[in-house]
Amino acid sequence: MAGKTDVWQGTLALMILKTLETMGPLHGYGIARRIEQTSGNLLAVNYGTLYPALLKLEQEGAITASWGVSDNHRKAKFYRLTRAGRRLVEKEARDWEQATQILARFLTPKEQLS
Domains present along the chain, CATH in parentheses: 5-112 (1.10.10.10)
Phi-psi region of 70 (alpha: psi -120 to 50; beta: other; left: phi over 0): beta
* Residue 29 · residue 76 · CB < 8 Å: yes
Closest C-alpha to 86, from 12, 24, 35, 28: 24
CA dist 37 and 73 (Å) reads 23
Give me the residues paired with residue 26 across strands.
Answer: 79
pTM: 0.85
Q: What is the pLDDT of residues 6-32, one digit of tens each?
A: 777 679 999 999 999 999 999 999 999
pLDDT in tens, 59-103: 999 999 999 998 899 999 999 999 999 999 999 999 999 999 999
